[in-house]
């Protein structure tokens, strides 16, 4: 199990980006959250299998989107952090 914190920048707030991310993460069996940041970015903390995280990350940043992702991502960062055994479910905050 791995955990990644992905921050995406661009036109990602107010367009359904967090809800789309939550739906895909749940489909992939990931746990964590997607949250708007004060600076206009969205932060996604996702935990699960390496394969599922790879699918999520590719879908978050691919240009153009092939999965109907709302908004437009112009930049991103990924930090690999220690998994949190207390995380349950996936939510949009």
Q: Where do we find the tokens 């359904």? A: 16
- The residue annotated as part of the active site, out of 18, 66, 69, 88, is 18
36 in active site: yes
Select which of 36, 41, 88, 93 is catalytic: 36
69 is catalytic: no
Known catalytic residues?
A: 18, 36
């Amino acid at each position: 199990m791995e955990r990644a914190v992905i921050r995406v920048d661009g036109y990602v707030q107010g367009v359904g980006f967090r809800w789309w991310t939550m739906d895909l993460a749940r489909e992939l069996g990931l746990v964590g959250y997607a949250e708007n940041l004060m600076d206009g970015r969205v932060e996604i903390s996702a935990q699960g299998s390496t394969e599922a995280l790879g699918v999520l990350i590719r879908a978050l940043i691919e240009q153009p989107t092939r999965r109907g992702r709302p908004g437009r991502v112009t930049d991103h960062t990924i930090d690999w952090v220690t998994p949190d055994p207390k995380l349950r479910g996936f939510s949009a905050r």
